[in-house]
Amino acid sequence: MAPLTRAKASSSRVAPILIQRDSDDSDHYHSSSSDYDDEEQVGAGDSSDDEDMGTNGLPTSEELHHEPPNTTSNAPPRITISLKKVCKVCKGTGHEAGFRGATYIDCPRKPCYLCKMPGHTTMSCPHRVAMEHGVVPAPRRNTSTTLDYIFQRQLNPNIPMIKPTFVIPDQLTCGIIRFHSRRVTCLEFHPTKNSVLLSGDKKGQVGIWDYSKLHEKTVYNSIHTCIVNNIKFNTDNDGTMYASSSDGTVSCTDLETGVPFVLLDLNPNGWIGPAAWRMVYGMDINTEKGLVLVADNFGRLYFLDTRSRTRAGGPFLIHKKGTKVVGLHCNPVEPGLLLSCGNDHFARIWDIRRLEAGSSLDNLRHGRVVNSAYFSPRTGSKILTTSIDNRIRVWDSIFTNMESPSREIVHSQDFNRHLTPFRAEWDPKDPSESLAVVGRYISENYDGVALHPIDFIDTTSGKLVAEVIEPDITTISPVNKLHPRDDVLATGSSRSLFIWRPKEDIERMQEQLGKKAKEFIIRMGDKKSKGKGSIDSDDDSDLGFKGKTSKTKKYEKSYTSGKSKKSKGVC
DNA sequence: ACAACATGTAGCC
DNA sequence: TGGCTACCCTGTTG
């Protein structure tokens, strides 16, 4: 690693400030001593004990000390300024956490930022060096009996025993930069119109975009007033979408008019303080029974009737009282089975025909908050969950003992107040129900650019199948959805939307359509064209991307010349 | 290149 | 239980 020097200490200060080399630096945290050798320490050799600087220590990067007046001479009181390296994570000195170039250096005093275990950092984490090692063996792993196998085959005759080759949409084909005015919070493909994507944002806006006709896009901003948590369709009527929001309402909106009908309002009396404000998070539709199932931030589940548009049941307490129910999912084969997950660190399975508090069929314990929990898309017999303890968990069969997951896959997906929570999503087209997509929080240094890939994970092995990146997308992509029929991936990253396809598809399209199939990007309301998270391209330009930064160019060379290469780490 | 800031909530006491 | 408050890889603007 080429050591990068820190920003230079100010050299314009006036006397009587002493500039001294700080010999304290040769402490135990000298893992990369050469990084700091040239650094000038400004200070008076204050003997404050660095080692005692715990997390409660208060030194800032510039410590001002007013020394007691010097009684033995007429010299003015000396002000000493200490510019020691202070770690922004633990406030200790002698080391610093943060980016050095495009590589992030962890605080060595904290547990690993990836796997959360002490004793090493992300850089040396075994789950990072080789992603196939990211699987934590669960106690019951590989303990299936022959009977289990037969049972499984009878119940799941559609699961082929030979795993198909995974199709990875890893090439960016189009996108809308800053389509939303706040970060994207959810995505949903239209159930019948193949190229129509719906998106919700933190502000409450709902976007409708036909990405086959790049400019065909609409934004409705009067459906909700804050975070759109979920968008769903009722397959009986694909002209109508349902949305749940942190404004406490569930809406049913005609896509043509954008006029919403409020199915549920949990705050009928308006704002009466933050403690009483109710929000709707989890939502799914039980087509068989004509129900919209929603859940709030107080642990309760509600049934709404899609025909009469009235409340048809609830509230039922399904998670710890007062905690947020983040997600709901109806089993695709047995719609009476409901999977919920929430902030009480549990995912729970319910029979909605026999619902009462505490009547869950199974309770799946997690290390921390569960962001999402989904039944597998075809047979509904597997479960995939995402938790902010940086683990994706897989239960291989809901018909066996659910006490512990079949696998825990270490994957970076921490909570961050500025980000939409990560959710690992099944590939609905994978007949083996193995492939999942999920954005990655921590970045990787790709030839000098810090990028956050979108990961494709084989949930049967924990192996990282692919990491999808685009040199110009430097923002984190927590929201990802795979198309139910096409080989298309939709991504929500910050305020932008992106569409990816497999390389082979793009080549085929280019052969058939020529120029028309070239990459194109729309930019919304952006005066400047350069900068983080933006893509340098003219609107709808035939030339697609152009005018890239030198960094990008450098990167692109190695990217297009073969498989994605990284300067650090192997995944 | 850098600083300021917006900002929700998880987990603790 | 309610009330605080820390908050490590943000993203945007100036």
DSSP per-residue string spanning A163-208? PPPPP---EEEEEEET-SSS-EEEEEE-SSSTTEEEEEETTS-EEE
Query: Could you read off the pLDDT of A276-322 as tens digits, one per residue?
Result: 899 999 999 999 999 999 999 999 999 999 999 999 998 999 999 99
User: CA-to-CA distance for A514 and A544, rounded, in angstroms?
Assistant: 13
Q: Facing residues of A479 across strands?
A: A492
Query: Is residue A292 a contact partner of residue A250, using CB atoms and an 8 Å limit?
Result: yes
Q: How far is the CA of A442 from the C1' of B10 (A)?
A: 20
Q: Give me the pLDDT at residue A66, please.
A: 38
* Averaged pLDDT, A548-559: 31
Query: Could you read off the pLDDT of A254-265 as tens digits, one per residue?
Result: 999 999 999 999
Q: What is the pTM of this model?
A: 0.79
For strand B, which nucleotides have at least one atom less than 7 Å from a protein CB?
1-2, 6-11
Helix (H/G/I), strand (E/B), else coil: A113: coil
Query: Could you read off the pLDDT of A95-147 as tens digits, one per residue?
Result: 889 999 999 999 999 999 999 999 899 988 988 754 444 455 444 333 344 44
Q: Which residue has the tokens 């933190």?
A: A202
Q: How far is the CA of A143 from the C1' of B7 (A)?
A: 47
Q: How far is the CA of A232 from the C1' of C13 (A)?
A: 35
Q: Give me the pLDDT at residue A557, please.
A: 26
**pLDDT at A78 exceeding the cut of 50:** yes
Contacts of A63 (CB under 8 A, 6+ apart): A43, A46, A81, A82, A84
Which nucleotide lies closest to A8 by the C1' atom and the CA atom?
Answer: B1
Locate A279 and state its tokens.
Answer: 């929000």
Query: Is residue A172 a contact partner of residue A500, using CB atoms and an 8 Å limit?
Result: yes
State which amino acid sits at residue A156. Answer: N
Which nucleotide lies closest to A415 by the C1' atom and the CA atom?
Answer: B10
Query: Is residue A285 a contact partner of residue A292, using CB atoms and an 8 Å limit?
Result: yes
State which amino acid sits at residue A289. Answer: K
What is the overall mean pLDDT for chain A? 77
Q: How far is the CA of A97 from the C1' of B5 (A)?
A: 21
Number of residues assigned to chain A: 571
Contacts of A377 (CB under 8 A, 6+ apart): A332, A426, A427, A428, A433
**In the 3-class helix/strand/coil scheme, how is A133-171 assigned residue by residue?**
HHEEECCCCCCCCHHHHHHHHHHCCCCCCCCCCCCCCCE
> In this complex, which residue's CA is closest to the C1' atom of nucleotide C9?
A442
What's A222's DSSP letter? S
Q: Give me the pLDDT at residue A43, please.
A: 33
Query: Could you read off the pLDDT of A137-155 as tens digits, one per residue?
Result: 444 333 344 444 444 545 5
> In this complex, which residue's CA is closest to the C1' atom of nucleotide C2?
A275
Which nucleotide lies closest to A528 by the C1' atom and the CA atom?
Answer: C13
What are A397-405's contacts with CB under 8 Å, separation 24+?
Answer: A397/A148, A397/A152, A398/A337, A398/A349, A398/A362, A399/A151, A399/A152, A399/A155, A400/A144, A400/A148, A401/A140, A402/A349, A402/A362, A402/A364, A403/A140, A404/A138, A404/A139, A404/A140, A405/A138, A405/A364
Which one has a higher pLDDT value, A236 or A545?
A236
User: CA-to-CA distance for A328 and A364, rounded, in angstroms?
Assistant: 14
Q: A455 pLDDT band (50/70/90 cuts)?
A: very high
> In this complex, which residue's CA is closest to the C1' atom of nucleotide C12?
A532
* Averaged pLDDT, A221-239: 93
**pLDDT at A552 exceeding the cut of 80:** no
Query: Could you read off the pLDDT of A345-387 as tens digits, one per residue?
Result: 999 999 999 988 789 999 999 999 999 999 999 999 999 999 9
Locate A289 and state its tokens.
Answer: 């029974």
Q: Give me the pLDDT at residue A165, please.
A: 86
In this structure, how many other beta carbons lie within 10 angstroms of the beta carbon of residue A53?
A: 20
Q: DSSP string spanning A26-67?
A: SSTT-TTGGGTTTPPPBS------GGG--TT----SSEEEEP
Query: Could you read off the pLDDT of A502-512 as tens digits, one per residue?
Result: 999 988 887 77
Q: Give me the pLDDT at residue A214, please.
A: 84
Interface residues, strand B, Cβ cutoff 7 Å: A 7, 246, 324, 343, 345, 368-369, 388, 415, 417-418
Task: Please name which of A281, A300, A255 lies closest in space to residue A423, comparing C-alpha atoms.
Answer: A281
